[in-house]
Structure 1
């Protein structure tokens, strides 16, 4: 039976019947999930991918740092990767996994938000995370456009422009110092967070301004570009891009349903997000038969790194399945009477 034949038996959550089976269910269709699915399909495994249609970088118009795809729209990369995986027999279902149970044979039954379910011998969870943005009016709608977080993703595009860094957590000073590499017109909006004398001195030494007062809103140009951030006293700090470090929450409903707890990420005594613990080389979690890859386990990973994690996890899953097949074949061979 070919990969495509096996996959035809499990069309997934979109109209699938309970009990549909695949060797590997990939939960999440971002770079990590698609990298894993492609690798597994090329290893001649039957693969179904659940795609909830909500990639983390959906608001971004371009992605950077991915050799061969620098400047590409993230959606274009995903569409191309999806087409490549489909050519090897990977099937896709437009649904989100909401719960899972371990079966007596060691496999899994995963239930989806459309009421259907899928059985799988192994799981690769690549569901990513949700960015938790500060509650500043107008900010969320500009996320990934001129409200930014990663200089390696967006710094070149706003180089030499006036930039403001909104202090939302313990990494604010580090952010301001980091973005100084791309522009010498940086203002740190303290936003009520205290700074030490040493931090003030280091910021001043590199020409980074500090503005006091809570941020209350954004100022825009008539053609809908960011012009500045308004503070509580009415002062407007001019900037053409605003840097924000979001909090983050792992999308891990399937994993928590199976009993795997989330781990808090703590910076200088403050919890900034949650992740799933997984081996950094193989993606193996503490749950036998379950692997994780991408931002669900590595929140600061870029697209290219997430894809690489998915590929490595897929290789580990295939090796695990081969080990099972060896044990079964060996047991059957020993049980077969020798012919005279």
Structure 2
């Protein structure tokens, strides 16, 4: 079957885009590997109408709604290769299948490059977070640690006192100068220079000198990149942002490859469920326009 649009990635942005196209009665193929970025979190916050919901329930409910449209085809699998050109794209999946479509949409999401701190991976999305708007309120104005990874950590530490009492854990990743020290002090942010030995308990930080610092939660500024290289393999240009690399798009969400579009975390920053859904809805409408005009 030759689809109007192939959507690579069936999480929030991809489904939001697909919904606009399905409601325009276009044929849409969604290929999804089932690895949502927020799969480790038990609750999703800041998304109007779904605040506090289990993100898995939000995603499953959205998929159920999409499946009511007869022009949708959904494939559970990993898209590995994309080729062709506008009106004649092909996408190959890990099982050897090949799918044809007039347009492509990359909604692959991103992968987080986590700092190499012992115990952090196990707590990611549960007591260690990247977005205070998504998880800060639930820390109830408690003690919050910011694990530094680079220059963005200073911005993060200056922002987060809205949600609690903050300690910036430099961990050898940053050395604030005198002006930055003054700026942090003005916001009430303490600085801990001792390296981190590892994380314990819920969100406790064991320092190299043996001290244990208890926190209600921890934040860290990860570097991100598209979760798979499929867009880059097609020839889509990437660009650098303060958060990491992303697929470069124009105002209509079209990439550097004509007929191939991108949306969601893989193609915009900063990142949240709300922003991904909005970006996907816009991309879906622009994809439809590209098919008409």
Q: What corresponds to 2:113 in structure 1?
A: 132
The DSSP-based 3-state class of the residue aligned with 2:22 is helix
Of the three residues 234, 242, 247, the one matched with 1:258 is 234
The DSSP-based 3-state class of the residue aligned with 1:307 is helix
Of the three residues 189, 205, 209, the one matched with 1:229 is 205
The DSSP-based 3-state class of the residue aligned with 2:44 is coil
Question: In the alignment, does 2:99 pair up with 1:121?
Answer: no
Distance 1:321 1:149 in 2: 37
How far the C-alpha of 1:209 sits from its partner, in A, is 1.2
**Max Rg structure:** 1
Aligned pairs (5 A) from 1:73-152: 73-89=54-70, 90-102=72-84, 106-152=87-133
The DSSP-based 3-state class of the residue aligned with 1:99 is strand
Distance 2:170 2:16 in 1: 40
Of the three residues 251, 275, 285, the one matched with 2:246 is 275
Do the aligned residues in 1 keep the contact of 2:146 with 2:166 (CA within 8 Å)? yes
How far the C-alpha of 1:262 sits from its partner, in A, is 2.1
Higher relative contact order (CA 8 A, sep 6+): 2
Do the aligned residues in 1 keep the contact of 2:205 with 2:214 (CA within 8 Å)? yes
Distance 2:218 2:273 in 1: 22
Aligned pairs (5 A) from 1:260-339: 260-265=236-241, 267=242, 273-279=244-250, 281-323=251-293
Gap runs ≥5 in structure 1: 1-19, 324-340
How far the C-alpha of 1:159 sits from its partner, in A, is 2.5
Distance 1:252 1:263 in 2: 15
Do the aligned residues in 2 keep the contact of 1:263 with 1:276 (CA within 8 Å)? yes
Q: What corresponds to 2:223 in structure 1?
A: 247
How far the C-alpha of 1:252 sits from its partner, in A, is 4.4
Q: What corresponds to 2:187 in structure 1?
A: 206
Of the three residues 25, 44, 48, the one matched with 1:63 is 44
Runs of 4 or more, structure 1, over 6 Å off, are none
Render the CA deviation track for 1:87-128: whole Å, top value 9, x for unaligned: 01212101111111105x741111111111100111111001
Distance 1:58 1:263 in 2: 26
Do the aligned residues in 2 keep the contact of 1:252 with 1:276 (CA within 8 Å)? no
How far the C-alpha of 1:27 sits from its partner, in A, is 0.6
Render the CA deviation track for 1:229-276: whole Å, top value 9, x for unaligned: 1122222222121111111111343211211232233x4xxxx52110
Of the three residues 181, 184, 187, the one matched with 2:167 is 187
Question: In the alignment, does 2:40 pair up with 1:44?
Answer: no
Do the aligned residues in 2 keep the contact of 1:295 with 1:306 (CA within 8 Å)? yes
The DSSP-based 3-state class of the residue aligned with 1:181 is helix
Do the aligned residues in 1 keep the contact of 2:237 with 2:256 (CA within 8 Å)? no
Do the aligned residues in 1 keep the contact of 2:118 with 2:197 (CA within 8 Å)? yes
Gap runs ≥5 in structure 2: none
Superposed CA RMSD in Å reads 1.4
Q: What corresponds to 1:15 in structure 2?
A: none
Do the aligned residues in 2 keep the contact of 1:65 with 1:304 (CA within 8 Å)? yes
